[in-house]
Chains A and B, each alone.
Chain A
Amino acid sequence: MTQPQTEQSSTQTPSTEPVIVARDVEKWYDNGFHVLKGVSMTVYKGEVLVVMGPSGSGKSTFIRTFNALEPYQKGSIEVDGITISHDLKNIEAIRQEVGMVFQQFNLFPHLTVLQNVTLAPIWVRRWPKSKAQEVAMQLLERVGILEQAHKFPGQLSGGQQQRVAIARSLAMQPKVMLFDEPTSALDPEMVREVLDVMRGLAKSGMTMVCVTHEVGFAREVADRVVLMDGGCLIEQNTPQAFFNQPREERTKQFLSQIL
């Protein structure tokens, strides 16, 4: 089988400046389950990192530690030079720099699309309303939802809602975006529109960490693909190598199941 030998990584070459540095992160759930068993990973500026793995492998939990949605018990995580601590101010400061897109969109159903996008800039960044709205409209145009700005999330399709969720995160002008299975809850015909937005975002040089099962997206957009299983990081590789000549036996087994 021949693979098209096009340039696989995005147009910008990732720098060597780290945005997220995770060292030996260990986490136990309250019921005693050891979900992360010492995971270390570095995300560089401008890089698109795809995290794959079977369900229950701890990949979602891992990226949710990057913005302290999940606490961890051992190891350290540094985001944009700040180490995550238990201090609330420190956590809030980090969350302002880390955008997150959820599997279930989690738009605020009682606010319009525009209000969803302007909420955080107004209340957290303290931008004047007019500036927040101007930026929000630009972002909504970028994700193709401009006409729906004054509708409520419940009136939009799943794909549209997820695009609004991306715009809402971008409105905070984060240094890095986390995607937690952004297309898993979508109907098949809507997956593409969301992936297109993510492709555009990658091209613009945004640092992205995506947990996804979309192999096509990983091949085309990722700079690096990571496999997690059983709370451990199994393999990190370039997309070509990961999908064509994986080093680890576990990776081959995983790929044989999804390809």
Chain B
Amino acid sequence: MTTVTPDSLSSTRPEVVGLSPWAWAKKNLFSDWFNSLLTVVLVTILGWLIFRLANWALTTAQWQVIPNNVGLFMTGTYPSSLYARVWALLAMICLLAGLSWGVLSRNLSTLFSRNVLIGIGAICAFIVLFPPTRPSSLKLLPMVAMVAGMAAIGRQAGRQRPGIGKWVSLLWFLSYFVALWLIGGGLGLTPVSTNDWGGLMLTLLAAVSGIALCFPLGLMLALGRRSALPVVRWLSTAYIEVVRGVPLVAFLFMGQVLIPLFLPAGTRPDRILRAIIALALFSAAYLAENVRAGLQAVPRGQREAAMSLGLNTPTTLGLIILPQALKIAIPAIVGQFISLFQDTTLLAIVGLAELLGIGRSILANPSYLGRYAEVYLFLGVIYWFFCYAMSLASRKIEDKLNTDER
């Protein structure tokens, strides 16, 4: 008799045998007649669509509208004599982005892995070859170098002082006000009226401000809706339900008309500020429900365990409940941020020249008559780029916070 002990069994996992391309195709695409038919039909349709799109993009489309109006797309009617300030703003963001990247990846063995180098190379090639960016490549290429350089510095600094992360967050916070100063002027810089803020710059400013304002507001509303105090609970619920029942466009118009009514006569907040406040107030209601879902998903035992240790309510909330609730709610919260970003396109309706609004005013120019497809495709790719970046970031954060199996 032989007994089988775990040791006597082979201890190596059987190798997973990769399929040859032919075998893979046979298994996944042509396993039976129906799947073969589906494959053939879909490949035909897809190929035809791609062919038509490529054919249009390379022969029919007149792309000059994009490179001719890069300035408008990026900054609206911002005076071109002051473009240096916008470049300075971009440089500041690149420095901070590089620094953050370095600090965040301080524990990686190599910062510039093969994939990262390929990515940097691709970005540089894109800058030089892409017609809209080609004229500025002498400014854009140093920006890429700055990101990479700051990443190396940030990694070094992060290794020597692991607590540096909160200082980087503080820098980001301060950079917001520096950005406003660079764009708007004052304090020694030529002032630029907000009427001349526009394009992608305004879109990003509105989105960042909206997100920064709506997050704390949404958090408070979510906590308010679960509060033990009836008045706080009713007010939060009423706010959420009323705002969710009103379309954003109506809300934006009300913001333009109503916000000045609540303020003393003579103080008339800027149009952009009013629009951002309306956007944030609107998104906060949706965000509150996302956070509330997260709060409800934290098991009751967590609160009981914290309380049984003598932790008071604010500490329990801040250290035990919220970190878990927000982690659960990340996908929904980022979804709300993405939709806020896309909702900035509605600012065009209240007369602000954000990216989509600029696109429409360019299309109204007789020299670019009928260039709809080119302009909207270009804008679509820009919006997609930023939304996809947010969604990638949320996945990274989720992975980082996952403590279940590691």
Q: A residues touching B (Cβ–Cβ < 8 Å)?
A: 67, 69, 88, 92-93, 95-96, 98-100, 102, 104, 106-110, 119-120, 123-124, 152-155, 165, 168-169, 172
Contact = CB atoms under 8 A, between A and B. Distances in A.
A152 B404 contact: yes
Contact of A69 (B308, B324, B405, B406): B308
A109 B308 contact: no
Contact of B308 (A95, A104, A107, A152): A95
Interface string B283-315: 000000000000000010110111111111101
Contacts of B403: 109-110, 152-154
Contacts of A95: 307-310
A178 to B, nearest CB: 8
B320 interface: yes
A10 to B, nearest CB: 24
Contact of A109 (B309, B311, B324): B324
Contacts of B301: 102, 104, 106
Contacts of B310: 92-93, 95-96, 120, 124, 172
22 contacts: A88-B313, A92-B310, A95-B308, A95-B310, A96-B310, A99-B308, A104-B299, A106-B299, A107-B305, A108-B302, A109-B324, A110-B324, A110-B403, A119-B319, A120-B309, A120-B311, A123-B319, A124-B310, A152-B403, A168-B309, A169-B309, A172-B310
Contacts of A153: 403
Given A88-B312, A120-B311, 16 more contacts: A96-B310, A102-B304, A104-B301, A106-B301, A108-B305, A108-B306, A108-B324, A109-B404, A110-B327, A110-B403, A119-B309, A124-B309, A124-B310, A165-B305, A168-B309, A172-B310
Chain B interface residue bracket vs A: 20 to 34
A245 B310 CA distance: 41
A152 B302 CA distance: 15
A109 B328 CA distance: 12
A169 B307 CA distance: 11
Interface string B81-121: 00000000000000000000000000000000000000000
Interface in B361-382: none
B401 A110 contact: yes
Nearest to B304: A69
| Nearest 6 interchain pairs by C-beta | A106-B305, A96-B310, A120-B309, A106-B301, A152-B403, A154-B404
Contacts of B308: 67, 69, 95, 98-100, 169
B404 A102 contact: no
Contacts of A88: 312-313
Contacts of A169: 308-309
A100 to B, nearest CB: 4
B323 interface: yes
Contact of A108 (B315, B320, B404, B405): B320
A114 to B, nearest CB: 13
Given A109-B403, A152-B406, A92 B305 contact: no
A95 B306 CA distance: 10
B13 to A, nearest CB: 21
Nearest to B310: A96
B291 to A, nearest CB: 16
A106 B302 contact: yes
A161 B401 CA distance: 20
A106 B304 contact: yes
A106 B401 CA distance: 19
B230 to A, nearest CB: 16
Nearest to A121: B309
A67 B309 CA distance: 10
Contacts of A106: 299, 301-302, 304-305
A59 B406 CA distance: 38
Contacts of B405: 154-155
A172 B315 CA distance: 16
Contacts of A123: 311, 315, 319
A249 B311 CA distance: 43
Interface in B263-295: none
A38 to B, nearest CB: 25
A69 B311 CA distance: 13
Contacts of A107: 305
A108 to B, nearest CB: 6
A172 B305 CA distance: 13
B311 to A, nearest CB: 6
A107 B302 CA distance: 7
A129 to B, nearest CB: 13
A102 B300 CA distance: 12
Contacts of B313: 88
Contacts of A168: 309
B325 to A, nearest CB: 10
B15 to A, nearest CB: 28
Contacts of A165: 305
Contacts of A67: 308
Contacts of B319: 119, 123
Nearest to B316: A123
A172 B310 CA distance: 9
Contacts of B299: 104, 106
Interface string B215-244: 000000000000000000000000000000
B201 to A, nearest CB: 37
Contacts of A100: 305, 308
B200 to A, nearest CB: 37
A190 B313 CA distance: 34
B125 to A, nearest CB: 42
B302 A155 contact: no
B406 A92 contact: no
Contacts of B327: 110
